[in-house]
């Protein structure tokens, strides 16, 4: 059994999100800016907000809202309770340091986090939209599945990204789980599963066996809109052949699989060949309009690619093109954009604090 460690998490993150690995320098800058953004003193920063249940468009009275300081190790620095109109604000005379915070609340056992930048003289109202919940998955479907299969030596790396779309106006949250996947019973390993959370960053999940052979589930609430669930595991390729038979209990609009090496012999009763990928040269197989529990079935046979230190740890292509193979996922691209935007927010916060400190010194 593989136990969690920071090193393993970083390695798994970079394997599953190779496009984010390209942004490590941005993440390093983000950490530095978190230090720079530590405020130089408490100021009168006004907070005004409102909690609205989007499902019914009604205000939520008596709701607890925590203000969490990012630069203080996610410490709760203030707690609000909404009034009869669902509004909350800081009391007159109270002071809060300028900086970057999160407004955090739990509504019907579902967590909501809203980023907030405090600045003296700025008093915009923050509206936090929450939703009613339902245990029915009727409004949930899979808009797209991206699959990456890489045979290296005697192992094959399997990575799958499910773009779960909740088309309703309620959060899907059920005691029996919100996402389940059935792997081939021959795959004895527990998969690694993450789900997108605040700032679209991956939140590790704890896959729970359902009692059915090869089936695992998670309980992450699926809010209206898109939630991306990533599944990854390692299969046995010692016999130079492998059968993928994963299935989920949702309708799937589209499936696209990429296979490396590209010269493997591939057959499938569900997917059809779409030729080589233009950017990586990997073999592409696609399918559309799959019913719930349809097997994502692919049979691979042939010589695996070579095992190297770089390909084993980073998902580098062995097809001759070199470079990093990205699972085409728009959410990965949004994560990079959000990191950059968050960095810019922190730059602005740090610059504002330094300028204000300069003015205070000059007055003295």
Res 64: pLDDT: 97
Other Cβ atoms closer than 10 A to 310: 11
Residue 218 tokens read as 């998670």
Q: Confirm whether pTM is higher than 0.95.
A: no
Asked if residue 109 lies in contact with residue 149, where contact means CB atoms within 8 angstroms, the answer is no
Asked if the bond preceding 261 is cis, omega within 30° of 0, the reply is: yes
Phi then psi for 272, rounded to 5 degrees?
A: -125, 155
Asked if residue 58 lies in contact with residue 85, where contact means CB atoms within 8 angstroms, the answer is no
Fold: same for 43-130 and 135-307: yes
- What does the DSSP 8-state code read for residue 251? -
Res 308: pLDDT: 67
The CATH number of the domain covering residues in 43-130: 2.60.40.1120
Residue ranges per domain, the chain? 43-130, 135-307
Asked if residue 113 lies in contact with residue 102, where contact means CB atoms within 8 angstroms, the answer is yes
Average pLDDT by stretches of 10, the chain with 364 residues: 42 47 45 44 71 94 94 89 94 77 94 86 82 96 97 95 96 97 83 88 93 94 96 94 95 97 96 94 96 96 82 45 38 43 47 44 44
Overall size of the chain counted in residues = 364
Res 152: pLDDT: 95
Query: Is 135-307 a domain of CATH 1.25.40?
Result: no
CA distances from 170 to 130, 282, 331 (A): 9, 39, 22
Residue 226 tokens read as 């898109």
Residue that is written with structure tokens 């740890």 in the block: 313
């Amino acid at each position: 059994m593989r136990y969690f460690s920071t090193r393993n998490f970083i390695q798994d993150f970079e394997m599953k999100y190779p496009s984010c690995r390209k942004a490590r320098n941005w993440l390093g800058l983000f950490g530095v800016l978190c230090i720079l953004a530590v405020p130089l003193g408490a100021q009168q920063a006004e907070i005004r907000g409102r909690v609205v249940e989007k499902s019914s468009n009604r205000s939520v009275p008596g709701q607890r809202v925590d203000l969490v300081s990012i630069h203080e190790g996610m410490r709760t620095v203030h707690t609000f309770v909404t009034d009869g109109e669902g509004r909350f604000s800081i009391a007159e005379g109270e002071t809060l340091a300028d900086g970057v915070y999160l407004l955090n609340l739990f509504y019907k056992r579902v967590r909501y986090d809203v980023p907030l930048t405090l600045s003296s003289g700025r008093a915009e109202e923050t509206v936090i939209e929450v939703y009613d919940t339902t245990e029915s998955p009727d409004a949930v479907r899979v808009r797209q599945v991206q699959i990456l299969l890489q045979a290296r030596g005697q192992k094959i790396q399997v990575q799958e990204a499910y773009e779960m779309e909740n088309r309703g106006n309620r959060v899907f949250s059920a005691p029996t789980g919100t996402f389940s996947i059935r792997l081939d019973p021959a795959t004895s390993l527990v998969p690694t599963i993450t789900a997108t959370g605040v700032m679209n960053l991956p939140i590790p999940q704890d896959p729970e066996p359902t009692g059915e052979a090869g089936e695992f589930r998670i309980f992450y609430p699926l809010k209206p809109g898109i939630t991306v669930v990533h599944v990854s595991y390692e299969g046995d390729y010692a016999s130079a052949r492998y059968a993928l038979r994963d299935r989920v209990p949702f309708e799937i609009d589209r499936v696209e699989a990429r296979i490396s090496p590209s010269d493997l012999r591939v057959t499938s009763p569900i997917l059809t060949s779409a030729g080589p990928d233009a950017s990586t040269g990997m073999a592409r197989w696609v399918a559309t309009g799959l019913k719930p529990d349809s097997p994502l079935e692919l049979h691979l046979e042939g010589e695996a690619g070579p095992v190297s230190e770089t390909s084993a740890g980073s998902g580098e292509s062995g097809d001759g093109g070199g470079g990093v193979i990205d699972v085409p996922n728009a959410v990965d691209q949004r994560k990079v954009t959000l990191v950059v935007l968050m960095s810019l927010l922190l730059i602005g916060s740090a610059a504002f604090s330094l300028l204000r400190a300069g003015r205070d010194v000059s007055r003295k």
